[in-house]
């Protein structure tokens, strides 16, 4: 989840693809009631804890993502 900036969704998908080359690009976006935030849902097949930690670290480290579940 992050602020609804013009390229936020593309940014998230680009990061996901860097960490999972088999990611097919499918995603779901929900916008907050007031339109300030986007929630992007993706499904990946993780290869392990190392991959998940690296993905989480890059998303959160960007400063653009407020929450990763």
Q: Give the dihedral sign, CA 15/10/32/66.
A: positive
% residues pLDDT > 70 (the chain): 100
Question: Looking at the domain assignment, is residue 8 inside a domain?
Answer: yes
Number of domains in the chain: 1
For residue range 12-45, list pLDDT tens digits in order.
999 999 999 999 999 999 999 999 999 999 999 9
Question: Looking at the domain assignment, is residue 69 inside a domain?
Answer: no
The answer to whether the CB of 2 falls within 8 A of the CB of 33 is: no
Question: Looking at the domain assignment, is residue 67 inside a domain?
Answer: no
Range of the domain at 11: 2-61
- pTM, rounded to two decimals: 0.91
The answer to whether the CB of 46 falls within 8 A of the CB of 20 is: yes
Please write down the HEC assignment for all residues of 25-37: CCCEEEECCCCCE
The answer to whether the CB of 7 falls within 8 A of the CB of 54 is: no
């Amino acid at each position: 989840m992050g602020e609804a900036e013009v390229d936020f969704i593309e940014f998230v998908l680009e990061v996901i693809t860097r960490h999972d080359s088999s990611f097919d690009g499918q995603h779901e976006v929900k916008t907050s009631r007031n339109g300030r935030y986007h929630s992007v849902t993706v499904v990946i097949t993780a290869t392990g804890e190392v991959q998940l930690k690296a993905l989480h670290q890059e998303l959160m480290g960007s400063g653009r993502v407020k929450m990763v579940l």
